[in-house]
Structures are given as structure tokens and as C-alpha cells.
Amino acid sequence: MSCNPCRSKSVTACVEMMESRLLLSASVATAAHKTPPPIPAIAGETFTGTATALGHQLPLSITFETETAKGALTASGVFESDTLGSTGTVKSSRAVTLHGKLGKVKFVLRGTLNATLDTFIGKYTDSDKKGSISGPFSLSKSV
């Protein structure tokens, strides 16, 4: 039996070396195909805080109502005194995007949940025929 990497070794040593290489190869292949982290479960959670618009701090509250296994979301909330309804997604990277409409104004909230899922920080944009406004928001989970 000829074994290139171990020509001067015994057949037993050669077989052991090949087995260890196969084992290493199998573990590398397994590591490369790990399942992604689960989508964070945030349905039922409410986050409150502020959004900054034109230099003013405005109250913002978002409640994530439903969530599918694939990360589709529905949410409601209050921005200043207006009620919001929105749909969006959450990903395994904890990135959240919500789209909604308030009268004729369209809005988008894009942000990230922290690792402990108690802070939601990002940027919002609202737009209508007159233009758009955007700014940062910072929300914490309500207890």
C-alpha cells in the first residue's frame, strides 16, 4: 500500500494519519455548515424611548405584536401622539426593519436589537410629498 504523505512510515502509521486527516476534514466541513442563530423572539415586547426629529426629542413606543418563525413581524406603536401600525422583519442578526403608514406619511424604522434584546437603536425616516425627515431613535424594553 502506497501512501504519499507517509512513504517512510509503516502501513499502520499511514492509515492512522489518513484517518486523522479525514476526521479533521469532517469537523471542518461541519463547522462551515452550522445553522444560523435563531431569530430573536420579540413578539409581545414593548420598547419605549425617543426619536430625534429636527432637533427635538419626540416620544416613541413600539409593541411587537406577532412574529413568524421566518421573522415576519407586525407591530403597533405611538409616535408623539399618533398611532402607528406597521409590518416588517427581524433577522437572526437582530436587525429589525419596520414599514408603515400614518395618513399619507410613509415611515421606515431600521435598527438593531442588542444581544440581550432589551435595547432597540436605529434610524427612522418618514416621507410624504413635501419631503422626508430622518433621525436616530433609541428605545428600551418596557418592564
- 122 and 63 in a common domain: yes
Query: Which residues are CB-neighbours of 134 under 8 A, at least 6 positions away?
Result: 123, 124, 125, 126
Asked if the structure places residue 55 within a domain, the reply is yes
- 62 and 5 in a common domain: no
Asked if the structure places residue 137 within a domain, the reply is yes
Asked if the structure places residue 41 within a domain, the reply is no
- 1 and 70 in a common domain: no
- 121 and 80 in a common domain: yes
The backbone torsions φ and ψ at residue 56, rounded to the nearest 5 degrees and listed phi first, read -110, 140
101 DSSP 8-state letter: E
DSSP symbols for 46-99: EEEEEEEETTEEEEEEEEEEEE-TT-EEEEEEEETTEEEEEEEEE-TT-EEEEE
Asked if the structure places residue 18 within a domain, the reply is yes
Asked if the structure places residue 88 within a domain, the reply is yes
Asked if the structure places residue 50 within a domain, the reply is yes
Domain that holds residue 24: 1-34
User: How far is C-alpha 84 from the geometric centre of its chain's CA atoms?
Assistant: 21
Cell 413606543, located at residue:
61
Q: Would the pLDDT of 10 be above 90?
A: no
- 52 and 20 in a common domain: no
- 83 and 119 in a common domain: yes
Reported as a single tens digit per residue, the pLDDT across 45-83 is: 999 999 998 888 989 999 999 999 899 999 999 988 888
Total domains in the fold of the chain:
2
CATH code assigned at 96: 2.40.128.30
- 119 and 72 in a common domain: yes
Q: Are 50 and 138 in contact (CB under 8 A)?
A: yes
Asked if the structure places residue 120 within a domain, the reply is yes
Reported as a single tens digit per residue, the pLDDT across 83-120 is: 888 999 999 889 999 999 888 888 899 999 999 999 99
- 85 and 29 in a common domain: no
